[in-house]
A and B are shown apart, each in its own frame.
Chain A
Amino acid sequence: GEDVEQSLFLSVREGDSSVINCTYTDSSSTYLYWYKQEPGAGLQLLTYIFSNMDMKQDQRLTVLLNKKDKHLSLRIADTQTGDSAIYFCAESIKAAGNKLTFGGGTRVLVKP
């Protein structure tokens, strides 16, 4: 079955890099995603990576995918106070209509 795991909490100083980690179990994943959720809001798509890629960079965001270990990470460079939020990792499988299976979320707190 599908299972996505994330650490619960990350604290980081403003200006430092943040790294959020995620592990998943389903090797047939098609895409892997990172979503951001601020209090009382919906999910904002940050970035995603196709399962045949190792890395994707998008401005301050870098996604690394290790398919062998089923490990996904999101690095945020120069973390700002506005980056404080809950970050969700999710996987989708094309054969399952690309429905998303989410991790429990990592709460990131950026300290000035």
Chain B
Amino acid sequence: GAGVSQTPSNKVTEKGKYVELRCDPISGHTALYWYRQSLGQGPEFLIYFQGTGAADDSGLPNDRFFAVRPEGSVSTLKIQRTERGDSAVYLCASSLKDHQTSSNQPQHFGDGTRLSIL
């Protein structure tokens, strides 16, 4: 079946512009996560949705970053007034909830959006 889909795969924009990054999770996956991966580092958590609501947004670096998931499926990560330091690969992952253990099952990742701020 289809995996996690992220668009665009690459985005180049100028400092100060607004960008939106889209994530289409695996069908039926209730949990959705955003991570950011800087060059040469491991991914870092940004925000987690369970259904439509943001259950944990503690990883968002500042108020220029915002994410939504209005219908509990597709999510959009929005970055205002972009800065050069925002350049990174933004990864999205989704998972099913295991109702027996009440844990989320292992996360499956998309290929990411490579964001470059000039």
Interface, chain A (partner B; CB < 8 A): 4, 30-31, 33, 35, 41-45, 48, 88, 90, 92, 94, 96-105
B 77-118 to A, binary, CB cutoff 8 A, 1 in contact else 0 = 000000000000001010100000111101111111000000
Q: List chain B residues, Cβ under 8 A from A33.
A: 106
- The CA of A105 and the CA of B42, in the complex, are separated in Å by 6
> Looking at chain A's contact residues, is the secondary structure mostly helix, strand, loop, or mixed?
strand
Question: Within the complex, which residue of B4, B44, B106, B110 is in contact with A31, where a contact is CB–CB below 8 Å?
Answer: B106
> Looking at chain B's contact residues, is the secondary structure mostly helix, strand, loop, or mixed?
strand
Known: A45-B109, A88-B42, A104-B42. 11 other contacts (CB 8 A): A33-B106, A43-B43, A88-B43, A94-B101, A97-B50, A98-B31, A98-B104, A98-B107, A100-B107, A102-B43, A105-B41
Q: List chain B residues, Cβ under 8 A from A100.
A: 33, 35, 43, 45, 93, 107
Beta-carbon contact of B42 and A97 below 8 Å: no
- The CA of A33 and the CA of B43, in the complex, are separated in Å by 13
Beta-carbon contact of A42 and B111 below 8 Å: yes
Residue B20, interface by CB 8 Å: no
**Total number of B residues with any Cβ neighbor in A under 8 Å:** 29
22 pairs across A/B with beta carbons < 8 Å?
Answer: A4-B42, A31-B103, A31-B106, A33-B106, A41-B111, A42-B91, A42-B110, A43-B109, A45-B108, A45-B109, A48-B106, A88-B42, A90-B42, A92-B104, A94-B103, A97-B104, A98-B107, A99-B45, A100-B35, A100-B43, A100-B93, A102-B42
Q: List chain B residues, Cβ under 8 A from A102.
A: 42-44
- The CA of A30 and the CA of B95, in the complex, are separated in Å by 15
B 49-64 to A, binary, CB cutoff 8 A, 1 in contact else 0 = 0100001100100000
